[in-house]
Chains A and B, each alone.
Chain A
Amino acid sequence: MGELKLPPIDYGALAPMLILFGVACLGVLVEVFVPRRSRNAVQLVLALLGVAAALTVLVINRNTRIVTIGGAVAIDGPTVFLQGSILVLGAVSLFLIGERSVEAGGAFVAQAAVLVGSDKDSRQSAGQPGLTEVYPLAAFALGGMLLFVAANDLLTMFVALEVFSLPLYLLCALARRRRLLSQEAALKYFLLGSYASAFFLFGIALLYGYAGGVQLSVIHQAAANPQRSQLLLYGGLGLVAIGLLFKSALAPFHIWTPDVYQGAPTPITAFMAACTKVAAFGALLRVLYVAFEGVRWDFQPVLGTVAALTMLVGAILAVTQTDMKRLLAYSSVANAGYLMVGVLALNPDGLSSTMFYLVAYGFSVLAAFAIVTLVRDSDGEATHLSRWAGIGRKSPLLAGVFTFILLAFAGIPLTSGFTAKFAVFGAAVAGGQTWLVIFGVVTSMLIAFPYLRVVVLMWLSEPGETTPAVSIPGFLTSAALGLGVIVTVALGVVPAPLIDLTREASQFVR
């Protein structure tokens, strides 16, 4: 038996992930050693500094193209771009997570273990400072996401999946108000997420049996050989895909989305809608483009059906929603379908347009949820649609911004929603997936209706007695909202720089 040798490790390329995991561990120590009063500020600054440092290192090493730690991690164009997107969107999400002035104590529960409905619970919801463990949890999640999009073998990918999923399950349960809903959301997400992980793991096992390795390049080579068992290949691909489709919220694996989006604290919902989506689609892109590119003709129709179904389900069910967060959840399901249209183009344009879409959608959805946190009454956020009637009269600026974001979701030109849709549709037509584009166009018509209904509600309806006041956003929420809107405008009017960036980045290493 030979001596065990350490594979060469390029620490520079791994630095962003290492920094975030380090910051997360530091955050745990802060919980122990820093007094409660200053804990929130210290944690927020620490987390933001960590993200900034990781981003800086990433930018410095942006031209790294390497497969390192024994083939476990691939740093290439898509990795760098997607990691950058996750970090930037994550920083904006941290702004929302760190907001403490809109609601006394912030959006998070003061002590998660307090019994719902007890005296202690009413005391905590009255304004005790919220948990600060959310920052290290968010940092762990971000680190896991960075690893997830960089993973070059399925086992690493699985580990990364768990690393970013477990903190998310916890974060979902930490809402200050409507705690039963929040805990239910967390439990649902955890149970269904565990099933999905199990499928993913079983798929890895089948693929290992098929290819004799878990590295994506090994699977790619094995798939070129028709002598091997096709049952193992397709079984493995299908099961791995289920795990990834679950995280991407594609139908029929989307059912957790509305419940979890509704129950989770809104900053966490925003975080999941923006960052998790990037991570999940990043991994999906890598698996499909790197490992299974050779059997594209076999999975394209199946996943195409999934994409069409997702767009339809998202659009149709969005029409029937009466809760703003659920509406945005179904909208995010539909958007996952559009993203899948871009993924299935299976050409370099498909890769670059999907990455463009992820960034564009991420910023818009962050802005949308930032607004949801502001419309509130004494019981917390007023998410029922009827409560939004006549908001335009009371706070025209906020209603104007939200209208703009909704128009972006509807894909009206001069917003990032339009350029992003155009990019994925263009790539899909070039990739021979015209039927998906037709589906995309038809569902865009359907889903325009719920968006428009909200616009009508805000501007054209008379304000009712129960129309809540709109809170004045604190600095952090304003910053998040402002960034979201500015990026949505900028990518709609001058998308060229980001398109060029995604094109330069659209080359996987194998």
Chain B
Amino acid sequence: MKDFPFLSILTLLPLVGAVVVACIPRAKAELAKLVALIWSLVVLALSIVMWVAFTVDSQDRFQFHESYSWIPAWGANFTFAADGIALVMLMLVAVLFPVVILASWHDVDSSRRSAPTYFALLLAFEFTMIGVFAAADIFLFYVFFEIMLIPMYFIIGSFGSGQKQYAAVKFFLYSLVGGLFMLASVVGLWVVGGHTFDFEALVKAGGSINTDTARWLFLGFFVAFAIKAPFFPFHTWLPDSGGAAPAGAAALLVGVMDKVGTFGILRYCLPLFPEASRWFAPAALVLAVIGIIYAALLAVGQNDLKRLVSYTSIAHFGFIGIGIFAFTTQGGTGSVLYMVNHGLATGLLFIVVGMFVARRGSALVSDFGGAGKLVPVLAGVLFFAGLASLALPGTAPFVSEFLVLIGTFSTHKPYAVIATAGIVLAAAYVLWMIQRTTQGTLNPALDAVPAMRKDLTLREKVVVAPLIVLLLVLGFYPKPVTDVINPAVQATLQDVGTQDPTPTVADGKAGR
């Protein structure tokens, strides 16, 4: 079972699917959608098999190792391997794509653009997402890191709404700028690391890099990942892209693509440049905390639903950031779990918001009001998604947010305390948004829109159900996921060379 080339097949499968779907003529749009859906379900099935085959208590941090020669002269290989962190991210990708494909079923029908192209782009995007998480060769990682821009660029630019061209170009240029900084660092690392791209070999060589060089190299990687995540002050592209992208694609944008940033920091920045990571940690923590508060405040003030959700997402990435740079097992595990839960919760939120926007024909909060009276079930789902997003106990994000905060509190009390204020603000932006859209007196203009009278269809129920179930199950029983994450996080922290603080007993002397 373990010898089965899971990762390479998992990576290539959506690419083949994208080609197949792209070849379907435009007139047969329904067929294209069906093929895309089935294809993504096959990917999901294969991922589940891989999840089962993953050995939790293994000595091997990286499993499903595969390597094929690519450019021998440079030491670049097609190397795939997954640790617990990568595994849960792959699972998240595999779960979200079929959901989003189903949710986007009618997104393209009304536009003059071709539906097969849209679904082919979604599958192509899945290919790059799986590749970026499965790669264990830095050259290969970089390749996926860059080419993921192209399908998303065309999704936003061709199928988006509002200022889509501006948003698409801004998205592309921001990411490309980050990517090119990383390219400089990749080249530098390749030269000082002995002309190899193999992740594990470079981690071993990492200790011998000169301190100053390592800090510069760290910075190149970090800027790329901070733009991708995004962390304050590199975040301005996300509200534009999230606001302009079709709702399903926006769910993928913040649900999985942005995770590449935080995943990259955990997987590459920390183990490759341990000393630099510790050196830069205070700065990163400050940025993360600013992001939590600043983005939450901006979210409160938004009148555009999709932009609002984008800002909440920036605030959440602040939490993930402090969890990573707290350098504790709880914080690290919490961060990875947060990535998964945030993908599910914000993905759900974006999809539900998309359903509202599709019915109303507008994303402005002020165009709604009292919608719960017309579409009670849909409003209920929005309420649930909102509560999950503000990390209400009983939903999955609570577990991760709590882990992040206690993990941070044990080493960096002030940051944890300030970040806690973000929870209050989260309640404010979510509840106020729900109040203004679904509660209160019915907006007469809303009543006049016939589509607003249709509650959830069967297709939409099928879309939201798995996410709701997952959010509840992981809220009460996160152990299967944390068990997978924990060893990988511990190994990462070992690479960084930090240890968890020993628990202290409150004995009256504490705090002096």
Residues of A within 8 A of B (CB): 407, 410-414, 418-419, 421-422, 425-426, 429-430, 434, 437-438, 441-442, 444-445, 448-449, 452-453, 456, 459-461, 494-496, 499-500, 503
Say whether, besides A413-B142, A459-B157, A460-B168, A496 and B187 are in contact (CB < 8 Å): no
A452 and B147 form a contact (CB under 8 A): no
Give bound CA distance, A438 to B157, whole Å.
30
Query: In this complex, what residue of B is CB-closest to A457?
Result: B165
Query: In this complex, what residue of A is CB-closest to B112?
Result: A393
A410 and B187 form a contact (CB under 8 A): no
Interface flags for B168-198 (1: CB within 8 Å of A; 0: not) read: 1100110011001101100110110000000
B71 and A499 form a contact (CB under 8 A): yes
B150 and A438 form a contact (CB under 8 A): no
B184 and A448 form a contact (CB under 8 A): no
Say whether, besides A414-B143, A452-B169, A444 and B180 are in contact (CB < 8 Å): yes
Give bound CA distance, A437 to B164, whole Å.
33
Listed from nearest, the 6 A-B pairs whose CB atoms lie closest are A413-B143, A499-B73, A429-B191, A441-B184, A425-B187, A441-B180
Give bound CA distance, A500 to B180, whole Å.
26
B72 and A459 form a contact (CB under 8 A): no
Give bound CA distance, A422 to B71, whole Å.
12
Give bound CA distance, A494 to B172, whole Å.
26
Q: A422-B183, A434-B188, A456-B169 are in contact. List 19 more A-B contacts (CB 8 A).
A: A411-B183, A412-B146, A412-B147, A413-B142, A414-B147, A429-B187, A429-B188, A441-B184, A442-B180, A445-B173, A448-B172, A448-B173, A452-B169, A452-B173, A456-B168, A460-B158, A460-B165, A460-B168, A499-B74
Residues of B within 8 A of A (CB): 70-74, 142-144, 146-147, 149-150, 154, 157-158, 164-165, 168-169, 172-173, 176-177, 180-181, 183-184, 187-188, 190-191
Give bound CA distance, A418 to B173, whole Å.
16
List 12 A-B residue pairs with CB atoms under 8 Å apart, sorted by A's residue number.
Answer: A413-B142, A422-B183, A425-B187, A426-B187, A429-B187, A429-B188, A434-B188, A438-B184, A441-B184, A459-B154, A496-B70, A500-B73
Q: Specify which chain A residues have a CB less than 8 angstroms from the CB of B146 in the assembled complex.
A: 412-413, 418
A425 and B165 form a contact (CB under 8 A): no
Measured between C-beta atoms, what is the minimum distance from B496 to chain A in Å? 26
Q: For B187, give its contact among A422, A444, A453 (CB under 8 Å).
A: A422
Q: Specify which chain A residues have a CB less than 8 angstroms from the CB of B173 in the assembled complex.
A: 445, 448-449, 452
Give bound CA distance, A121 to B335, whole Å.
73
Give bound CA distance, A429 to B73, whole Å.
16
Give bound CA distance, A414 to B72, whole Å.
16
A496 and B73 form a contact (CB under 8 A): yes
Measured between C-beta atoms, what is the minimum distance from B83 to chain A in Å? 24
Q: For B176, give its contact among A425, A430, A445 (CB under 8 Å).
A: A445
Q: For B157, give its contact among A412, A429, A434, A460 (CB under 8 Å).
A: A460
B147 and A413 form a contact (CB under 8 A): yes
B184 and A495 form a contact (CB under 8 A): no
Q: Specify which chain A residues have a CB less than 8 angstroms from the CB of B71 in the assembled complex.
A: 419, 495-496, 499
B168 and A441 form a contact (CB under 8 A): no
A460 and B181 form a contact (CB under 8 A): no
B191 and A430 form a contact (CB under 8 A): yes
B74 and A456 form a contact (CB under 8 A): no
Give bound CA distance, A24 to B73, whole Å.
40
Give bound CA distance, A430 to B72, whole Å.
18
Measured between C-beta atoms, what is the minimum distance from B234 to chain A in Å? 14
Point out which of A437, A448, A459, A460 has the most chain B C-beta atoms below 10 A from its C-beta: A460
Measured between C-beta atoms, what is the minimum distance from A450 to chain B in Å? 11
Q: Specify which chain A residues have a CB less than 8 angstroms from the CB of B169 in the assembled complex.
A: 452-453, 456
